[in-house]
Amino acid sequence: MCSRFSLAEERDLLAARLGVSAMSLAHYRPRYNIAPRQEHFIVTTVYENRKLTRARWGLLTIPRNQDRDHYSINARAETVESRPAFTEAFSHKRCVIPASGFYEWAGPSSARQPYWIHRRDGNLLLFAGLYANEDADDDGVPASFTILTCVANPALATIHDRMPVILSDRDAED
Write out the E strands in 21-165: 31-34, 39-46, 49-57, 59-62, 70-72, 74-76, 94-99, 101-106, 113-118, 125-133, 143-151, 162-164
pLDDT digits (tens, 9 = 90+) for 41-85: 999 988 888 999 889 999 977 655 555 667 899 999 999 999 988
Q: Which of 104, 134, 150, 173 is catalytic?
A: 104
C-alpha separations of 81 from 22, 56, 88, 138 in Å: 35, 22, 9, 30
* Least confident stretch, 5-9, 31-35, 82-86: 82-86
> How many other CB atoms sit within 10 Å of the CB of residue 24?
15
Sign of CA dihedral 29, 33, 34, 37: negative
Q: Is 87 helix (H, G, I), strand (E, B) or coil?
A: helix
Average pLDDT of the chain to the nearest whole number = 89
Query: Residue 49 in 3-state DSSP?
Result: strand
Mean pLDDT on 170-174 = 88
Domains of the chain: 5-173 (3.90.1680.10)
Examine the residue annotation and report whether 134 is marked as an active-site residue of this protein.
no
Alpha-carbon dihedral sign for residues 36, 18, 119, 26: negative
List, edge to edge, every strand of the sheet that includes 5-7. Answer: 31-34, 5-7, 101-106, 113-118
Say whether 2 is catalytic: yes
